[in-house]
Amino acid sequence: MKLGFVGADHEVTGSCHYLEACGKQILIDCGMEQGKDIYVNQDIPVPINQIDYVLLTHAHIDHSGRLPLLYKNGFKGSIISTFATSDLCSIMLRDSAHIQEFEAEWRNRKARRAGSEEYVPLYTTEDALGAISLFHPCDYEQTIELSEGINIRFRDVGHLLGSASIEIWITENGISRKLVFSGDIGNINQPLIKDPQTTSSADYVIMESTYGDRLHKAPPDYAMELANVINRTLRRGGNLVIPAFAVGRTQEMLYFIREIKERKLVEFDFPVYVDSPLAIEATSIFNKNFQSCFDEEAMALIQSGISPIRFPNLHLAISSDESKAINFDSTPKVIISASGMCEAGRIKHHLKHNLWRPECTVLFVGYQAYGTLGRALTEGAEYVKLFGETIEVKAELAQLDGVSGHADKNGLLHWVEAFSPKPQMVFVVHGEDETCDHFAACLTDEHQIPACAPFSGALFDLATGEWIKEGLKIPVAAEKPAAKRKSDIYARLIEAGKRLMQVIYHNEGGANKDLAKFISQINSLCDKWDR
């Protein structure tokens, strides 16, 4: 009866935990790391083909994104999740595979020109389909006998459609233990989905801490706040670009915009484009699972004949041509596109077309992990590189305060304090390095709940309550000196490019003959160095 820590230990993404009990090998989540990798993750402690089950808390890629790789490496067991999570993963894993394949194709075009080695994608669409075929969905509150001595139950934790905490009862060699994996605990009063449910008992709790050191601001009138941003942007003649996770955050934005139009908070009708095939498919899954997942307010709208997430002048861009056409339409508009941290997908094209325009606004409506493009922008980057082109950031950058799918520190404390009696230990995971330590100390010192924040590779004996192996705090290797020198040279090149732009601006109003000569010289330089 052992609990192992693999991923999202002192890091926010890449959730993965290992459970050995009653002769079964079980993973709880198998997520992909997103943003900068801080610590080295230890390997899953058993061969992949020996894993019997994966229990999946929810569909977000940082919890599910390595399932196709698991399949690729020999996993043929069962993936257990809620019905909504299974439905969402059927599109999200295919989309993730598509991104992997697209990136590989792009890298390999460059590699062939440079004579470099071929880049192999992490996994393919075939691998994603293989993983999807292994899903066995279940209802919330349904007790399932996984095997002799192991029972599980999923409880709505209000983070995402279908998201769950997972209760696990284990009896082995006459010893019984109950574990609860929190998954990602949701914020209260989110549109569409229910508030998180608490759980009353557990011996051991494995708990996320994303906002374990922060408090959300008092919730504003989200519709009014969003309407203010829309009004001032469209009055300038600009576009409002909203990077939004295709699943969850996009549907919330549609909910608020429907309310804005219903309350006439914006003085004129305006077009809204959802530019994400994944988000469009996800929206249909929201509609499919409303009975089990929607909250009372959303259900009341449905019962009165109103769709919570549809409204006039809503346009869905599915094909790449439809996506491209958005940026060639001069009509001021709202563009919602994935991904939420600006790391992949069509949002990068919209940033390329709008970031340099001072009349436009980019509105961030969710958490931006360290090392992501979204984080760089929210921290004030003046220039960003998109598709090999350096873009000056002139657009207004705004954030919709309080819109978060994660519980804040008080929400996390409310959830964990519902256990009575207190757990023997709370293992704090899924948070930034210092946040994990802060929240674990808060539980221990201020709330008298024993807690610790293990590192990847740690292994705990659930029967004896003792550590078998300590985790390893191994920072990801820094750049080698040669690579750093290369990076420094490249930084100088960027600065030279900025200087060239300033020189171009200084030549405004110059003689046509001189400007033509300048253009010719720049084009010759570009022809020589474009790779």
What CATH number has the domain bearing residue 446?
A: 3.60.15.10
Instruction: Pick the last residue of a domain from 440, 469, 498.
Output: 469
- State how far Cα 297 lies from the chain centre: 26
Please report, as a single letter, which amino acid is at residue 316: L
Question: Stretch 517-525: mean pLDDT, rounded?
Answer: 85
Which range is least confidently modeled, 213-222, 271-280, 379-388, 438-447?
213-222
321 and 172 assigned to the same domain: no
Do 368 and 336 lie in a common domain? yes
Has residue 35 got a pLDDT over 80? no
Domain identity same for 314 and 443? no
Residue 159 within any structural domain of the chain: yes
User: Which runs of E-coded beta strand occur in 324-392?
Assistant: 334-337, 361-364, 383-386, 389-392
pLDDT value, residue 402:
64
pLDDT of the residue at 478: 61
How many separate domains does the chain show?
3
Q: At what angle do helices 83-114 and 125-132 cross, to 10 degrees?
A: 160
Tell me whether residue 476 is in a domain.
Answer: no
Q: Is 321 helix (H, G, I), strand (E, B) or coil?
A: helix
Say whether both 189 and 278 belong to one domain. no
- Are residue 105 and residue 142 in the same domain, yes or no? yes
What mean pLDDT comes out for the span 352-376?
A: 90
Residue where the block lists tokens 């706040």? 225
pLDDT of residue 486: 54
At residue 270, does pLDDT exceed 70? yes
Least confident interval from 345-359, 435-449, 511-525: 511-525
Residue 329 pLDDT class (50, 70, 90 cuts): very high
Per-residue pLDDT, 481: 53
Strands (E) in 14-94, as ranges, are 16-21, 24-30, 53-55, 78-82
Q: What CATH number is given to the structural domain containing 379?
A: 3.40.50.10890
| pTM, 2 dp | 0.79
Are 356 and 411 members of one domain? no
Beta-sheet strand order (sheet of 314-317) = 314-317, 272-275, 334-337, 240-243, 361-364, 396-399
User: What range does the domain containing 389 cover?
Assistant: 222-399
Last residue of a domain, which of 373, 399, 425? 399
The token duo for 171 is 């009896």
Contact indicator for 345, 336 with CB cutoff of 8 Å: no
In a domain, 54, yes or no: yes
Mean pLDDT for all residues in the chain: 90
Each residue of 195-218: pLDDT tens digit? 999 999 999 999 999 999 999 887
**232 burial type by CB count under 10 A (0-12 exposed, 13-18 middle, 19+ buried):** middle
Q: What is the CA radius of gyration of the chain?
A: 25
Give the separation between CA 128 and CA 71, rounded to whole angstroms: 8
Q: Is residue 291 one of the residues assigned to a domain?
A: yes
238 with 297, same domain: the answer is yes
Q: Do 24 and 39 lie in a common domain? A: yes
pLDDT of residue 249: 84
Per residue in 109-168, pLDDT (tens digit) is 877 877 778 888 899 999 999 999 999 999 999 999 999 999 999 999 999 999 999 999
Give the pLDDT mean for 38-45.
Answer: 93
Looking at the predicted structure, is the pLDDT value of residue 222 above 90? no
pLDDT score of 513: 83
Q: CA 429, CA 502: separation in Å to the nearest integer?
A: 47
Q: Is a pLDDT exceeding 70 seen at residue 484?
A: no
Place of tokens 């943003």: 35
Residue 106 lies in a domain: yes
- pLDDT value of residue 259: 93
Shared domain for 77 and 159, answered yes or no, is yes
Q: Looking at residue 489, what is its pLDDT?
A: 67
Please indicate, yes or no, whether residues 284 and 380 belong to a single structural domain of this protein. yes
* Residues 192 and 298 sit within 8 Å (Cβ to Cβ): yes
Structural domain contains residue 474: no
Q: CA-CA distances (angstroms) from residue 374 to 116, 176, 313?
A: 30, 45, 28
- For the chain, percent of residues with pLDDT exceeding 70: 96
**Together in a domain, 15 and 145:** yes
Residues 365 and 296 in one domain: yes
**pLDDT at position 156:** 97
Stronger pLDDT, 487 or 184, i.e. the higher one: 184
Of 379, 399, 419, the residue that ends a domain is: 399
State CA 152 to chain mean position distance.
Answer: 26
**Lowest-pLDDT choice from 199-208, 335-344, 346-355:** 335-344
Residue 303's pLDDT band, with cuts at 50, 70 and 90, is confident
Is pLDDT larger for residue 289 or for residue 14? 14
pLDDT in tens, 223-250: 999 999 999 999 999 999 999 888 888 8
Biggest CA pair distance of the chain:
91
Provide the b/e sequence for 502-526 (b: ≥16 CB within 10 Å).
eeeeeeeeeeeeeeeeeeeeeeeee
How many other CB atoms sit within 10 Å of the CB of residue 217? 8
- Mean pLDDT: which of 79-83, 110-114, 387-391 is highest? 79-83
Query: Position 183: which residue type?
Result: G
Most confident residue range from 38-42, 163-167, 481-485: 163-167
Q: Is 427 part of any domain?
A: yes
Helices and strands, counts by H and E, the chain: 17, 23
Of the two residues 497 and 2, the one the predictor is more confident about is 2
Residue 459 belongs to some domain of the structure: yes
